[in-house]
Amino acid sequence: MPLPRGLPIVDHHCHLSPSGEGVAAAKRFHAAGGTHLFLATQNYAPDVPRSVDDYRRQFETTEGLARRIREECGVVVYPVMAPYPIDLLGAARAIGLEAALEVHRGALDLAGTWVRERRAVALGEVGRAHFPVSETEARAIDAAFLHAFEVARDVDCPVVVHSADLDAAGFAELSERARAVGLAPSKVVKHYARERRTSAELHGVAPSYVARRELVRAVVSDPAPWFLETDFLDDPHRPGAVLDLETVPRRARAIAESPDGSPDRLFVPFVESVERVYGWRPEVREEGAA
């Protein structure tokens, strides 16, 4: 069975780099049937950013990649901007923890400005370390995490969370954190979700599931909102990590071709969930661009 007519194919979280495949990876995504990418910024320089101006240059690089992909590939790109949460620790080794926290907050404010100016659609990735840190470092990371939620509230945008795997209690804590600052839990996305959770366990938070075959099969009948992502890193030293950028189109085609599949269910991660969390419906024109 073919994919439903007019269905966008959306990878909800990936990274691309000028020193990796960059636009060439987006061309592969498009050739496989992909139409829309959520492109999360990342560090492109060898050193962790140590100033808001460093982050400005980083965001501009991401924006430039997004522009080239739109122009050269016909893929719709939604930039997602924020200082990577673990940057705080790297910067602290160079300029001290207090100064690094101020830079981090300033970069979050800058990302919020980009959302206001419609140069980005969400704050991300933000969150906590997924490895042991000192109590002092944990407090600083948590302060930055809180500020991210406050900025998302102020600019009324989703916040994409990087963290260790979450159980139901972890999703409840994220939901409570959002409510505590006046941000709707429906504006919180848990990126790199690796286990299916029921609606009750999610507490209003939207999971962005890593598009591994068995996980996609498990979640495809779940109600919105949920997304599929590759978390493609575009790292020449780790080709194809986390998943290759062609994976989401391949999974969509496999669902459509499965004898017991329901292709219309693909509108849930690719259309309904985007509309519920971000506020618009991704669309595909007849010629394949949106």
**Torsion angle, CA of 212/218/219/220, rounded to 10 degrees?**
90
What's the mean pLDDT in 210-234?
97
In whole angstroms, give the CA distance from residue 230 to residue 13: 6
At 129 the pLDDT is: 82
In whole angstroms, give the CA distance from residue 152 to residue 109: 9
| Phi, psi (rounded to 5 degrees) for 2 | -70, 165
The pLDDT confidence band at residue 285, using thresholds 50, 70 and 90, is low
Q: Is the pLDDT score of 17 beyond 80? A: yes
8 Å CB contact between 40 and 125: yes
Fill in the DSSP letter of residue 264.
G
Quick: pLDDT tens for 119-151.
999 999 999 888 899 999 999 999 999 999 999
Q: Is the pLDDT score of 289 beyond 60? A: no
In whole angstroms, give the CA distance from residue 160 to residue 122: 7
8 Å CB contact between 238 and 245: no
What's the mean pLDDT in 175-189?
98
At 239 the pLDDT is: 87
Of 45-49, 64-68, 109-113, 184-188, least confident by mean pLDDT is 45-49
What's the mean pLDDT in 209-234?
97
Enumerate long-range contacts of 210-214, CB under 8 Å, 24 or more apart. Answer: 210/242, 210/243, 211/11, 211/243, 211/247, 211/248, 211/251, 212/243, 213/251, 213/254
User: Average pLDDT, whole number, for the chain?
Assistant: 95
pTM: 0.95
Q: Is the pLDDT score of 2 beyond 90? A: no
At 130 the pLDDT is: 82
Quick: pLDDT tens for 69-104.
999 999 999 999 999 999 999 999 999 999 999 999
Fill in the DSSP letter of residue 270.
I
What is the DSSP code string of 121-147? SEEEEEE--SS---HHHHHHHHHHHHH
Q: Is the pLDDT score of 14 beyond 80? A: yes
The pLDDT confidence band at residue 290, using thresholds 50, 70 and 90, is very low
Question: How far is CA 129 from its chain centroid?
Answer: 17
Q: Is the pLDDT score of 1 beyond 70? A: no
